[in-house]
Amino acid sequence: MVGVSIGGNILCKYLGEQGVSCRGVVEGAVAISVPLDLRGSAEVLARPSRRLYMEYLLRPLRARIREKAERFPELFTTEGLDDITTFHEFDARYTAPLHGFTSIDHYWDTCSGLRYLDGIQVPLLILTAQDDPFLSASCFPNHLAAQSPGISLETPKRGGHVGFFDSLRLHTTWLDQRTVSFIGAL
């Protein structure tokens, strides 16, 4: 299995929750540019220097809320939606309550893949660039990876968020090669 960005977080959470029951079904996994600590990533993305990224990420979320408000006006309101500028605001207002969480902290704590890594029972490669503008230091589980024989953490200096281009040829990247190599070795 391969998960990218928030999909990588979901993958790590799933594998950790499933533990040994994944064996025989999942041979291994690669998680790429993973916001393993949702709170930490939200804090990084809330910085003024990340404003363009935040707006880019919020745009489709706002569109989904508008669609849902049209279909289910009794459940959704769009009042103040365009004033939301951070994941903290969006998750507190929409994500957490709409998915049954008691608070934003409950949501972030429950859904951060970081807390599930020690339960993963299949080989996992985490690829995260040190210059990823979406991630906090807590998204780099160096200590846990060093202790776990099944988790490999690779943190190249450059790569941004899901970039990892090794040349101007956009059809092949280091990321593609490394992912295929890891999966092929399983």
Look-up of token digits 């690829």: 127
Q: Are residues 99 and 118 in the same domain?
A: no
90 and 146 in a common domain: no
Q: Which two tokens stand for residue 186?
A: 């399983």
Q: Say how far apart CA 145 and CA 24 lie, in whole Å.
A: 22
Q: Are 141 and 174 members of one domain? A: yes
Mean pLDDT of the chain: 93
Instruction: Give the total number of structural domains in the chain.
Output: 2
The pLDDT, as a whole number, for residue 114 is 97
Residues 6+ positions from 18 with CB-CB distance below 8 Å:
119
Residue 167 has pLDDT above 60, yes or no: no
Contact 129, 157 (CB under 8 A): yes
Question: Of 87, 108, 129, which residue sits at a domain end?
Answer: 108
pLDDT tens digits along 36-75: 999 999 999 999 999 999 999 999 999 999 999 999 999 8
Virtual torsion, Cα 14, 57, 30, 24, nearest 10 deg: 30
Indicate whether 152 and 97 sit together in one domain. no
Per-residue model confidence (pLDDT) at position 111: 97
- Helical H segments across the chain, by residue range: 6-18, 38-45, 51-71, 87-90, 96-98, 104-111, 142-147, 174-185
Residue-level pLDDT at 171:
60
- 32: containing domain: 2-37+112-185
Q: Is the pLDDT of residue 170 over 70?
A: no
Chain centre distance of CA 126: 11
Closest CA to 18 of 124, 92, 121: 121
Q: For the domain that residue 8 is a member of, what is the CATH number? A: 3.40.50.1820
What is the DSSP secondary structure assignment for residue 126, as one 8-state letter?
A: E
Side-chain-facing half-sphere of 25: CA atoms under 13 Å: 8
Supply φ then ψ for residue 125, to 5 degrees.
-110, 125
- Cα separation, 26 vs 46, in Å, equals 35
List C-alpha distances in Å: 57 to 61, 87, 105, 163, 175: 7, 9, 20, 16, 22
pLDDT for 18 equals: 96
Q: With 80 as the cut, is the pLDDT of residue 168 above it? A: no
Q: Where is the domain boundary, 81, 108, 135?
A: 108
